[in-house]
A = this chain, B = another copy of it.
Amino acid sequence: MAVHSSRDPNYEARVRASFAAQKFMATIGASLDRISPGEVVISLPFRDDLTQQHGFLHAGVLGAIADSACGYAALSLMEPAAAVLSVEYKLNLLTPAAGTRFVATGRAVRPGQTLTVCSAEVRAIGAESEVLVALMQSTMIAVRDRAGLRD
């Protein structure tokens, strides 16, 4: 994994402010654990109201925290004037998502001027285990000069 440098010295404050503005992250109880240039970790305690029909975490929730982790990994490298939007993401579910906590680590694999290709891993943490439950590969876009879009 290449080590990246940010075009924004205040990248951490900026990513934290944008994450705080993602109301859906608060709705599901996700928190932003760690930020470094090109890598962001989001975690989510298990909650019964986030499950699918078998009682596992819903694949859409796994996708949401992985997508946000990818988006902020990309944003952490962008200059202050750019906002980030998801172009597309692909998620493989490796095994049913059982655990007490879920940790999504998003990474910018190839940051570009316009597009940033990212990947994310989601791990389920249990009492005595840690299992990789989902893998994402995604594309983020830097949006500039669009009224009302920031970060």
Where the two chains meet, the residues of A that have a C-beta atom closer than 8 Å to any C-beta of B are 18-19, 21-24, 26-27, 48-54, 58-61, 63-65, 67-68, 83, 85-96, 109-110, 112, 114-115, 117, 119, 132, 135-137, 139, 141, 148-151
Contacts of A115 in B (CB 8 A): 87, 141
From B26, B135, B151, give the contact of A137 (CB < 8 A): B135
Closest B residue to A117 using CB positions: B92
Q: Count this chain's copies in the assembly.
A: 4
A115 to B92, CA, bound (A): 11
Contacts of A91 in B (CB 8 A): 63, 88-90
Closest B residue to A149 using CB positions: B54
Taking a contact as CB atoms under 8 Å apart, the answer to whether A58 and B22 are in contact is yes
Contacts of A26 in B (CB 8 A): 49
Closest B residue to A63 using CB positions: B63
A83 CB, min distance to chain B CBs, angstroms: 7
Taking a contact as CB atoms under 8 Å apart, the answer to whether A88 and B24 are in contact is no
Q: Other than A60-B60, A136-B137, give 7 A-B pairs with Cβ distance below 8 A.
A: A22-B52, A22-B58, A54-B148, A59-B63, A60-B65, A88-B92, A89-B91
A110 to B124, CA, bound (A): 14
Taking a contact as CB atoms under 8 Å apart, the answer to whether B93 and A85 are in contact is yes
Cross-chain pairs A/B with CB under 8 angstroms, 22 sampled: A21-B53, A22-B52, A22-B53, A23-B49, A24-B49, A24-B61, A27-B50, A52-B68, A54-B149, A59-B86, A63-B67, A85-B93, A87-B115, A89-B90, A90-B90, A92-B117, A92-B137, A94-B110, A94-B117, A117-B135, A136-B137, A139-B139
